[in-house]
Amino acid sequence: MGEAPAFLVDDLQKDLTNGFHLKLKGHETAINTGDNKTYVIAGTEYESTPTIEVRIYDKNTDEWVIPIVLGIKPKSSKGHTSVLLDEGRILVIKGNSTSDDCFWFLEVNTAFVREQKKRFETDVVAWSRGVIGEAEIPIVISGPSGVGKGTLISKLMEEFPSMFGFSVSHTTRAPRSKEQNGVHYHFTERSAMEKDIKDGKFLEFASVHGNLYGTSIEAVEAVTDKGKRCILDIDVQGARSVRGSSLEAIFIFISPPSFEDLEKRLRARRTETEEQIQKRLKNARTEIEQGNSPGHFDCILVNDDLETCYKNLKKLLGLNEGADTTQKLLPELVEMHLEHRVSKIDQKILINCGNAEENSYRNMFLLDFSSIKGGAPGRTRGLNLLTVEPSINGYKMLS
């Protein structure tokens, strides 16, 4: 999963012999990015855990840069191949793994800044998982406290458990009696959350009713990695930040039939003190105003009668009566053979698993990287993978 891009492990440097880590021999793949730099990517073991290491040889200076260990934990350190997708991206394929875990991207910066200490940040910009199958665009649901966002989301998740997943936010507020940590929220200390925000782990965050709330990149990935469509319950400020980010989403505002109804619901819920209710009601006026002003939301649903509102929400999401709701977003699991060869044909990567055992592994796959999109920005991508077989004219699609 795409965490912080990379970290340094200085003490690996002592294992280098002319830039080569002896344990890596035969387990590595190298790519020349055409700017006189060669990226050597290898599976290795660090403190008995298989991991991936990247070393860079710079022909301009005839130097090897100390290794970068990525926060990826593959099943095995063997069988990696790589291909240069375009100027700044390398696709790495991990052999001996399944399709939900075998593709990842290394984003490299070809505009190299010659500053020794900063080299890692400038050479390897980020790494990200390649997820097979199209990632459906997330749904952002906003609205004032007590309007019924949670109730509507719960109904959706109950009716379509394999289709939707909830993005579990972080918050500094105290849990309510029925709330579970990791299910409703990740209840967090302010200092820990502030640090994670600073480290770039959050997609968005906002201060709401006196507490900090935020969506971590990992929370969105946890849903999209399962092939589910992500639902975010976030406030209006958060929705605006997401709108301004590179995450494509559908924005829905839930509005109360009247302010009096909102107050009634909030009080009937019996989860807040009088002081907290007053704060929420005060903020609700601004939220309703912003929610109803043009340009912020794609759609406004009035939650008067719950069943009617729920029906309208389903209609909006294309879940009409008789819709095939059993459809799985996850494609069939593919097993990548340890030994495989890769080649690039236009926007497609041909992966040949050679004489892989019949019934155990399929032989040839075509990865269409023009399909990359979706997921958390810069992290999770939708990829199309097809099974192919050789034919006289080249290859033939099977699925």
Ligand X SMILES: Nc1nc2c(ncn2[C@@H]2O[C@H](COP(=O)(O)OP(=O)(O)O)[C@@H](O)[C@H]2O)c(=O)[nH]1
Q: Does 214 bind ligand X (CB under 6 A)?
A: yes
Q: CA dist 317 to 165, 294, 306, 311, Å?
A: 14, 21, 17, 10
Asked if 306 touches ligand ADP (CB under 6 A), the answer is yes
Letter string b/e over residues 114-146, b meaning 16 or more CB atoms within 10 A of that residue's CB: eeeeebbeebbbbbbbbbbbbbbbbbbbbbbbb
Token code pair at residue 90 = 């390398």
176 is catalytic: yes
Q: Which stretch binds ligand X (CB under 6 A): 79-87, 156-164, 228-236, 324-332?
A: 228-236
Size of the site for ligand X (CB under 6 A): 17
Burial class (CB in 10 A: 0-12, 13-18, 19+), 249: middle
Q: Is 22 in the site for ligand ADP (CB under 6 A)?
A: no
3-class DSSP state for residue 166? strand
Taking CB under 6 A as the binding criterion, the range among 56-64, 123-131, 157-165, 200-208 that sits at the site for ligand X is: 200-208
Q: Among candidates 105, 93, 106, 83, which has minimal Cα distance to 345? A: 83
Task: Give the footprint of ligand X on residues 162-191 (CB under 6 A).
Answer: 169, 173
Residue 268 is a binding residue for ligand ADP (CB under 6 A): yes
Catalytic residue among 243, 265, 267, 269: 269
Q: Which helix (H) or strand (E) is 129 found in, with range?
A: strand 124-132
Return all residues near 284 (Cβ < 8 A) that are at least 6 apart: 144, 145, 146, 256, 259, 262
**Among 129, 183, 136, CA closest to 164:** 136
CA distance 53 to 238: 36
Cβ distance 353 to 195 under 8 Å?
A: no
Active-site entry in 119, 229, 280, 362: 280
For the chain, helix (H) and strand (E) counts, in that order, are 8, 28
256 binds ligand X (CB under 6 A): no
280 as an active site residue: the answer is yes
State the binding partner of 226 from ligand ADP, ligand X, none, CB within 5 to 8 A by kind: none
Find the binder of ligand ADP among 38, 76, 151, 371 (CB under 6 A).
151
One residue of 2, 43, 67, 146 binding ligand ADP per CB under 6 A:
146
Binders of ligand X among residues 128 to 167 (CB under 6 A) are: 145-146, 150
130 near ligand ADP, judged by CB under 6 A: no
Instruction: Indicate which of ligand X, ligand ADP, none lies near residue 268 (CB less than 5 to 8 Å, by partner kind).
Output: ligand ADP
- Known catalytic residue: 243? no
Q: Which residues of the chain form contacts with ligand ADP (CB under 6 A)? A: 143, 145-151, 265, 268-269, 303, 305-306, 309
Q: Which residues are catalytic?
A: 176, 269, 280
Q: Which residues of the chain form contacts with ligand X (CB under 6 A)? A: 145-146, 150, 169, 173, 204, 206, 208-209, 213-215, 233-235, 237-238
